[in-house]
């Protein structure tokens, strides 16, 4: 079994607007991913540009940054065995039309931009993305009973 790890999850502005925060969090906990940090914020465009810097120069970059700063979003620290891969499986493919049935993006996404959620794609990305939104003292510890 993969070692316990952490990943950064986001509920994007379209997920907030659709009123599916609770549905998405239920999928997270049902997948044995423990939420050990959570915050809601309305990001400035400059903050989004920094977060998605790896995509700078791509054709969708400007629209993505405009969308992600168009309304509030939720950032979460998820912890569990193989958390990065687990959350990516629960999310489904980037394009909701290609995402497997029953995944978050298939059920709650609209198109490749408005795809409801984000997740880190590697340990290196997770390290960067977690530290982008969370200080160490904003991450908690608790046990499920
Ligand atoms: P996300 O996992 O948050 O990472 C980058 C985001 O860019 C991606 O989800 C999509 O929402 C968005 N995006 C918009 N257009 C594209 C595209 N053509 N290909 C890939 N990602 C895209």
Known active-site residue 41: no
5-134 in CATH: which number? 3.30.70.141
Locate 10 and state its tokens: 């986001």
- The tens place of each residue's pLDDT in the chain, 145 residues long, gives 545 899 999 999 999 999 999 999 999 999 999 999 999 999 999 999 999 999 999 999 999 999 999 999 999 999 999 999 999 999 999 999 999 999 999 999 999 999 999 999 999 999 999 999 999 999 999 999 9
Protein residue with its CA nearest to atom 10 in ligand 1: 113
Residue ranges of the domains in the chain?
5-134
What's the rounded Cα separation, in Å, for the pair 62 and 57?
Answer: 9
* Angle formed at CA 18 by CA 83 and CA 49, multiple of 5 degrees: 60
The pTM assigned to this predicted structure is 0.96
Cα-to-centroid distance, 132 and ligand 1 (Å): 19
Instruction: Identify which of 89, 113, 117 to mutate to test ligand 1's pocket (most ligand atoms within 8 A of the CB).
Output: 113
DSSP-assigned beta bridge partners for residue 103: none
């Amino acid at each position: 079994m993969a070692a316990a790890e952490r990943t950064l999850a986001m509920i994007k502005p379209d997920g907030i607007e659709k009123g599916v925060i609770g549905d998405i969090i239920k999928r997270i906990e049902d997948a044995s991913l423990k939420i050990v940090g959570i915050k809601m914020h309305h990001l400035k465009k400059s903050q989004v540009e920094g977060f998605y810097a790896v995509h700078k120069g791509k054709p969708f970059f400007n629209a993505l940054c405009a969308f992600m700063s168009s309304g509030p979003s939720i950032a979460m620290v998820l912890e569990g065995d193989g958390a990065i891969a687990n959350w990516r499986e629960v999310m489904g493919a980037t394009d909701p039309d290609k995402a497997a049935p029953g995944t978050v993006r298939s059920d709650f996404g609209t198109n490749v931009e408005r795809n409801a959620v984000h997740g880190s794609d590697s340990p290196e990305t997770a390290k960067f993305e977690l530290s982008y939104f969370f200080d160490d003292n904003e991450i908690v510890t608790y046990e499920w009973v």
